[in-house]
């Protein structure tokens, strides 16, 4: 699973996302809506991804990205990230050993909400 710009065919990276929304579906046909702006040519695109494609995409990004999940989640250009989106990312990461930073981030977030 790779996202590419429809105009110039450049690969779309984590930093190119401008909006992510998770659409839960009762029958399990969850969809993830992503909007992105090509880092090379500036062309804007959007896609509606199946859950499995999203998981695969996130895994490929995080395997190739030196930043921690925490750093990526804190990126301000993304819209508000919901609990569902966090769960989606966590599912994608379950087979990896990258979970510790995400757990720490979630703990910090939960503590904030309790105050």
Residues near Zn ion, by CB under 5 A = 5, 7-8, 10, 38, 40-41, 43
Distance CA 42, CA 114 (A): 40
**Nearer to Zn ion by C-beta: 3 or 62?**
3
CB of 5 to Zn ion, least distance (A): 3
**Nearer to Zn ion by C-beta: 10 or 99?**
10
**Nearer to Zn ion by C-beta: 36 or 105?**
36
- Phi–psi pair at 73, nearest 5 degrees: -60, -30
In three-state secondary structure terms, 64 is coil
């Amino acid at each position: 699973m790779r996202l590419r710009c429809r105009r110039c065919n450049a690969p779309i990276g984590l930093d190119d996302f401008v909006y992510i929304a998770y659409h839960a579906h009762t029958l399990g046909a969850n969809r993830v809506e992503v909007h992105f702006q090509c880092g090379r040519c500036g062309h804007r695109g959007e896609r509606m991804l199946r859950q499995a494609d999203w998981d695969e995409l996130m895994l490929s990004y995080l395997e190739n990205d030196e930043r921690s999940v925490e750093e990526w989640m804190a990126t301000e250009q993304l819209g508000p990230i919901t609990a569902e989106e966090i769960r989606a990312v966590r599912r994608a990461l379950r087979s990896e050993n990258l979970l510790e930073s995400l757990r720490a981030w979630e703990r910090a977030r939960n503590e904030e909400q309790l105050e």
